Chains A and B, each alone.
Chain A
Amino acid sequence: DSGVTQTPKHLITATGQRVTLRCSPRSGDLSVYWYQQSLDQGLQFLIQYYNGEERAKGNILERFSAQQFPDLHSELNLSSLELGDSALYFCASSASGQGRSEQYFGPGTRLTVT
């Protein structure tokens, strides 16, 4: 158990819908990262937050958005869902926003868009 929690574990929804994925980092970790794992794209970095502020952005679609709250939990919002958004979404956390801090991954949320 990494100490990072993600809810829900599984999510099935229809095209065009909107969903919210939730992540709670390890106790004391200030940085949260979101990654998407899909069959065709592999594991891709989406976005990083550090202590409530956006720190880095990767291949995140405009239909996707994220935020980190004062209690440091984070939410990833996916809207106007398409079939291709079906993937495993990971949240990771680290103590700081710097590379010397390892990123610890949560168990992931499996999203299926039908």
Chain B
Amino acid sequence: AQTVTQSQPEMSVQEAETVTLSCTYDTSESNYYLFWYKQPPSRQMILVIRQEAYKQQNATENRFSVNFQKAAKSFSLKISDSQLGDTAMYFCAFMKHTGAQKLVFGQGTRLTINP
């Protein structure tokens, strides 16, 4: 079974700073997908970024980028020029490439951006 671990329950940074959220996972699969979801106080789950394991290039979406280290089974999220609206819970998630298309989530990191 796959597991996802987020070792930072809470983080706090000042507005405009850069912050990195950590995620590690365990799987015997060779091909899979990794995601970061954001859950603001509204509780809506919002997809932030996606990485396909067979792609070596790290995914980037505007101020959000990932550092995907397949051998280390590590998938961190970097938020540049952080904004107050980035305050949210962030969940790392894993999905197998084939078979059951379920997302396996980590426990989340609560990120607070301070003015």
Binding site for B on A (CB under 8 A): 2, 31, 33, 35, 42-45, 48, 55-56, 58, 88, 90, 92, 94, 97-100, 102-105, 107-108, 110
Contacts and interface: CB of A to CB of B under 8 A. Distances in A.
Which 10 A-B residue pairs are closest in the complex by CB-CB distance?
A: A56-B100, A105-B45, A45-B102, A43-B105, A99-B33, A99-B95, A99-B97, A42-B107, A58-B102, A97-B101
Contact of A45 (B32, B98, B104, B106): B104
28 contacts: A2-B46, A31-B101, A33-B101, A33-B102, A42-B105, A42-B107, A43-B91, A43-B105, A43-B108, A44-B105, A45-B104, A48-B102, A55-B100, A55-B101, A56-B101, A58-B100, A88-B43, A94-B101, A97-B101, A98-B101, A99-B32, A102-B35, A103-B47, A103-B103, A104-B47, A107-B44, A108-B43, A108-B44
Interface residues of B, number: 27
Contacts of B42: 107
Given A42-B108, A99-B33, A105-B45, A35 B50 contact: no
